[in-house]
Amino acid sequence: MKIIKLDFILFFLLTIAFNTTKAQSTYTKKLPFQNGEEVRYIVSYNWGFIWIDVGEAKFKVREKKIKNKPFIILESWGTTYSSWDHFFKVRDYYKSIVYAKNFRPVYFIRDIQEGDIKFKITYKFMQKKNLVYAERKGNTGNHHLDTIKITNNTYDLLSIIYYARTLDYSKYKKGDKIPVDIVLDRKFERLYYRYIDKETFYNKKVGKYKTIKLKVVTVPSAAFKEGGETITLWVTDDKNHIPVWAESPITVGAVKIRLAEYKNLKYPLISKIK
């Protein structure tokens, strides 16, 4: 049941993110989300021929002043349903603090409780030095302190999702590869996603939307045995750019993630077809 970990869910959703020099030039201070926005997703796992809802992921945006400087607080929670806790209980929490003026990450927390395993990873971004100071501690493994070399456009697993929503998809054409720079599991990673096309997406559990269809390349891991362009994602084709649906085969079975609820969106969800 480890496939429902929040970092796995976030990895699905980060496929909308691209932070290359080309992407940076499209950044706008008029952010497509606002204080109080909340989005909730349901995670389903394929067990044999049956799809079962096993957990949820929630995302929230807050604005806050720290030492009289404006910051944006991004938070996310991943949980299994109580009926599945006896198989593998998950209570994950992520938090990212970014500068409001340029959306660069300052601080990141990943606080994990999965079965009997508990650990916390923190990142302190030193943007002027292009470094991240990372610390890991928990009830398994050693206490780690790492210094990670990054580019000037590197994000954590949570901030990269929201940053990507500020970008203009109309500047990309079918088949374009857009690199992704990210610090993941105390390592600098450079991945990419592929812009596929615009598409009308329909599923009876989420409804019908005008969307942008994307693919993401993954590296070999416990979840993705061979890597490759394994994840498919559909994002609303409007100013909000929120993911509607994601799916992927994994090492054992398959996973789907679907939009369940949203509150306080900054713009009307005009991509939704009645």
Between 216 and 158, residue with greater pLDDT: 158
Instruction: Over range 244-272, report the average pLDDT.
Output: 89
- Tell me the C-alpha distance between 102 and 189, whole Å: 22
Between 52 and 161, residue with greater pLDDT: 52
What does the pLDDT read at residue 45?
85
Between 161 and 100, residue with greater pLDDT: 100
Between 70 and 184, residue with greater pLDDT: 70
Asked if 74 and 98 count as a contact pair (C-beta separation under 8 A), the reply is yes
Q: Is the pLDDT of residue 5 over 60?
A: no
What does the pLDDT read at residue 42?
94
What does residue 157 show for φ and ψ, rounded to 5 degrees?
-65, -25
Instruction: Over range 147-167, report the average pLDDT.
Output: 86
Q: Is the pLDDT of residue 2 over 60?
A: no
Give 69-90 pLDDT, tens digit per residue: 999 999 999 999 999 888 888 8
- Tell me the C-alpha distance between 1 and 89, whole Å: 9
Local confidence band at 217 (pLDDT 50, 70, 90 cut-offs): low
Q: Is the pLDDT of residue 162 over 60?
A: yes
What does the pLDDT read at residue 24?
40
What does the pLDDT read at residue 12?
52
Instruction: Over range 103-107, report the average pLDDT.
Output: 94
Tell me which H or E stretch contains 86.
helix 85-88
Nearest partner of 193 among 148, 151, 152, 243, judged by Cα: 243
Instruction: Over range 202-220, report the average pLDDT.
Output: 84
Instruction: Over range 91-97, report the average pLDDT.
Output: 94
What does residue 222 show for φ and ψ, rounded to 5 degrees?
-60, -35
Q: Is the pLDDT of residue 266 over 90?
A: yes
Q: Is the pLDDT of residue 3 over 80?
A: no
- Looking at every residue in the chain, the average pLDDT score rounds to 83
Residue the block writes with tokens 């954590």: 156
What does the pLDDT read at residue 142?
79
Q: Is the pLDDT of residue 225 over 50?
A: no
Torsion from C-alpha of 170, 231, 150, 188, nearest 10 degrees: -170
Give 8-47 pLDDT, tens digit per residue: 555 555 443 333 333 343 344 588 999 999 999 999 988 7
Between 255 and 261, residue with greater pLDDT: 261
Locate the DSSP E strands across 150-223.
177-184, 187-203, 207-218
Give 54-64 pLDDT, tens digit per residue: 899 999 999 99
Distances (CA, A) of 172 to 178, 269, 270: 9, 22, 21
3-state secondary structure of 33: coil
What does the pLDDT read at residue 251?
62
Residue the block writes with tokens 């869910």: 9
